[in-house]
C-alpha cells in the first residue's frame, strides 16, 4: 500500500483537528504521490471571520494533525504550505526523506478537545508557559473579563454574525447534522433549558424583535463569570502578513493545544475578543506588541471541572451538504 493510501485510511483521525464553529472546512485530494489540503468556501465564516484568520488557523491545525497522524503510522511526510486562494488550496503533503519530528502521537490527537464549562482555579506556571513556546503571552483571565463581555455583546448584537452562529448551532439531538459538524448543546456545556432558550432567542423573528430591547446584553451575561476566577488566558502572538504565515501559526496553535491537553489542560478559545475591533485593540495594547505582530488566537486554559464532550465530525468519504465531497481522487 502506498503512503498516500496509508494516510487516506487514517483520514477520520486527521479530521479530529479543531476548527472555528466546528466547520471542518478541509477537503483532501489524493494523488499518486501527494495529498493536497483544500478548503470548502461554503464552510468559511465570511461574517464572523471576514479576514479568514480562523479559516487559515484551522487549516494549519489540520495540516499539523495530518503530519502527526502520518508520523504515528510510520510514514515520512512533510507539508509545503503555499496558499492558493483561487484554487482554495492551503498546502501539499508530500513524501520526505526523514519522518516529521513531533512529540505527539495519534492518541494525543484523539484525546484533545475544547472545554467551555468551568475550570478549577489555578494559573499556569511560568515554566509551563515557557515550555509551550515563544509566541505565547500569558495573562490572568480576570484582566480579560470586561473585554469578553464587550466582545460577546458585539457578537450577539451584529445580525450577520448572529445569523452565521445560528447556522452552525446544533442545539438539540434532533438536529439532522447533530453528529456531523457545528456546535452542539453538549459541546457548549448547555443544559436542555439553556439550549432551548438560546435557540429561541436566536430564531429570526425573536432575534429581530428582541435585539433592540437588550437581547445581546442578556446573551452576553451568560459568559460573564467565565473569566471571573483565578485562571489563565494565553494569547498566540505572531506575524500574519500572509495567509501562508497564518496557516503556519495554525500549526503552532495545534501544537500548543496538544501540549496543554497532554498535561491534562483543556482550552476554550475566545476568538470574539479578536473579532471585535475595540477589544482587539485593547488586548493588543495590553500586550505591547512589536510592529508587524498581532494577536492571532486567545483562549483560556485550565483543568475543567467536568469531562468535556467529544465533538462531532463528518466521517471521511461521506458526501456532505453544499454539494461537496470530503475526499476526491
Ligand atoms: C481558529 C479557531 C478558532 C476558534 N474559536 C472559538 C471560539 O471563539 N469559541 C469557542 O467556543 N470555540 C472556538 N474554537 C473551537 C472550535 O469550536 C472547536 O475546535 C470545534 O468545535 C471542535 O471541537 P474540539 O476542538 O473539542 O474537537 C475555535 C477553534 C479554532 C481552530
Q: What is the pLDDT of residue 208?
A: 95
Ligand 1 atom nearest 257 alpha carbon: 25
- Counting ligand 1 atoms within 8 A of each CB, the residue from 12, 13, 20 with the most, and so the one to mutate, is 20
Would you say 45 and 271 are in contact if contact means Cβ atoms under 8 Å apart? no
How many helices (H) and strands (E) the chain has is answered by 13, 11
Secondary structure of residue 9 in the 3-state scheme: helix
Secondary structure of residue 311 in the 3-state scheme: coil
Ligand 1 atom nearest 183 alpha carbon: 21
C-alpha neighbours within 13 Å on the C-beta side of residue 12: 6
Nearest CA to ligand 1 atom 4: 20
In the reported structure, the alpha carbon of residue 76 is separated from the centroid of ligand 1 by a whole-number distance in angstroms of: 29
Q: What residue has cell string 503555499?
A: 82
Ligand 1 atom nearest 19 alpha carbon: 31
Report the pocket of ligand 1 as residue ranges, CB < 6 Å.
Answer: 18-22, 54, 57-58, 61, 113-114, 116, 183, 187, 268-272, 311
Contacts of 108 (CB under 8 A, 6+ apart): 68, 258, 261, 262
In the reported structure, the alpha carbon of residue 22 is separated from the centroid of ligand 1 by a whole-number distance in angstroms of: 6
Secondary structure of residue 114 in the 3-state scheme: strand
Spatial distance between the Cα atoms of 13 and 15, rounded to a whole number of angstroms: 5
Ligand 1 atom nearest 58 alpha carbon: 31
CA torsion 108→129→301→181, rounded to 10°? -40
Would you say 83 and 106 are in contact if contact means Cβ atoms under 8 Å apart? no
Domains of the chain: 3-113 (3.40.109.10)
Q: What is the pLDDT of residue 133?
A: 85
- Counting ligand 1 atoms within 8 A of each CB, the residue from 15, 111, 114 with the most, and so the one to mutate, is 114
Residue 86 in grid coordinates: 483561487
Contacts of 74 (CB under 8 A, 6+ apart): 99
Spatial distance between the Cα atoms of 50 and 52, rounded to a whole number of angstroms: 6
In the reported structure, the alpha carbon of residue 33 is separated from the centroid of ligand 1 by a whole-number distance in angstroms of: 32
Q: What is the pLDDT of residue 328?
A: 35
> Would the CA dihedral through 169, 151, 310, 17 be positive or negative?
positive
Spatial distance between the Cα atoms of 329 and 326, rounded to a whole number of angstroms: 10
Q: What is the pLDDT of residue 314?
A: 97
In the reported structure, the alpha carbon of residue 156 is separated from the centroid of ligand 1 by a whole-number distance in angstroms of: 17
Q: What is the pLDDT of residue 322?
A: 45
Measure Cα distances from 150 to 105, 191, 206, 251, 321 in Å.
39, 24, 22, 29, 34
**What is the Rg, in whole angstroms, of the alpha carbon atoms belonging to the chain?**
19
One digit per residue, the tens of pLDDT, for the chain of length 329 reads 999 999 999 999 999 999 999 999 999 999 999 999 999 999 999 999 999 999 999 999 999 999 999 999 999 999 999 999 999 999 999 999 999 999 999 999 999 999 999 999 999 999 999 999 889 999 999 999 999 999 999 999 999 999 999 999 999 999 999 999 999 999 999 999 999 999 999 999 999 999 999 999 999 988 878 999 999 999 999 999 999 999 999 999 999 999 999 999 999 999 999 999 999 999 999 999 999 999 999 999 999 999 999 999 999 987 554 433 333 32
In the reported structure, the alpha carbon of residue 257 is separated from the centroid of ligand 1 by a whole-number distance in angstroms of: 11
- Counting ligand 1 atoms within 8 A of each CB, the residue from 13, 15, 18 with the most, and so the one to mutate, is 18
Rounded to 10°, the helix 145-157/277-287 angle is: 160
> Would the CA dihedral through 281, 284, 286, 290 be positive or negative?
negative
Nearest CA to ligand 1 atom 3: 20
Would you say 321 and 176 are in contact if contact means Cβ atoms under 8 Å apart? no
Would you say 201 and 324 are in contact if contact means Cβ atoms under 8 Å apart? no
Q: What is the pLDDT of residue 319?
A: 57
CA torsion 320→322→324→326, rounded to 10°? -40
In the reported structure, the alpha carbon of residue 18 is separated from the centroid of ligand 1 by a whole-number distance in angstroms of: 6
Amino acid at each position: 500500500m502506498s503512503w498516500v493510501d496509508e494516510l487516506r485510511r487514517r483520514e477520520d483521525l486527521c479530521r479530529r483537528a479543531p476548527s472555528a464553529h466546528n466547520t471542518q472546512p478541509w477537503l483532501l485530494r489524493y494523488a499518486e504521490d501527494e495529498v493536497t489540503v483544500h478548503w470548502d468556501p461554503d464552510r468559511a465564516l465570511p461574517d464572523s471571520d471576514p479576514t479568514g484568520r480562523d479559516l487559515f488557523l484551522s487549516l494549519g491545525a489540520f495540516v499539523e494533525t495530518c503530519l502527526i497522524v502520518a508520523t504515528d503510522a510510520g510514514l515520512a511526510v512533510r507539508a509545503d504550505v503555499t496558499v492558493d486562494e483561487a484554487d482554495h488550496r492551503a498546502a501539499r503533503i508530500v513524501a520526505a526523506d526523514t519522518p516529521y519530528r513531533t512529540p505527539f502521537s495519534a492518541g494525543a490527537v484523539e484525546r484533545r478537545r475544547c472545554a467551555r464549562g468551568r475550570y478549577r482555579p489555578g494559573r499556569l506556571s511560568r515554566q509551563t508557559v515557557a515550555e509551550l513556546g515563544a509566541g505565547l503571552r500569558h495573562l490572568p483571565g480576570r484582566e480579560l473579563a470586561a473585554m469578553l463581555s464587550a466582545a460577546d455583546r458585539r457578537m450577539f448584537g451584529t445580525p450577520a454574525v448572529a445569523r452565521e452562529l445560528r447556522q452552525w448551532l446544533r442545539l438539540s439531538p434532533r438536529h439532522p447534522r447533530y453528529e456531523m459538524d457545528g456546535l452542539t448543546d453538549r459541546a457548549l456545556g448547555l443544559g436542555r433549558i439553556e439550549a432551548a432558550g438560546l435557540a429561541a432567542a436566536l430564531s429570526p423573528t425573536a432575534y429581530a424583535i428582541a435585539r433592540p430591547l437588550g437581547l445581546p446584553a442578556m446573551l452576553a451575561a451568560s459568559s460573564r463569570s467565565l473569566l471571573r476566577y483565578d485562571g489563565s488566558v494565553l494569547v498566540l502572538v505572531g506575524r500574519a502578513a500572509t495567509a501562508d504565515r497564518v496557516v503556519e501559526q495554525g500549526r503552532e496553535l495545534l501544537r500548543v493545544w496538544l501540549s496543554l491537553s497532554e498535561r491534562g489542560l483543556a482550552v476554550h478559545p475566545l476568538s470574539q475578543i479578536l473579532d471585535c475591533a475595540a477589544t482587539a485593540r485593547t488586548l493588543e495594547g495590553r500586550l505591547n506588541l512589536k510592529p508587524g505582530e498581532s494577536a492571532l488566537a486567545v483562549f483560556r486554559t485550565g483543568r475543567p471541572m467536568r469531562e468535556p464532550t467529544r465533538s462531532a465530525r463528518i466521517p471521511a468519504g461521506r458526501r456532505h451538504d453544499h454539494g461537496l465531497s470530503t475526499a476526491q481522487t
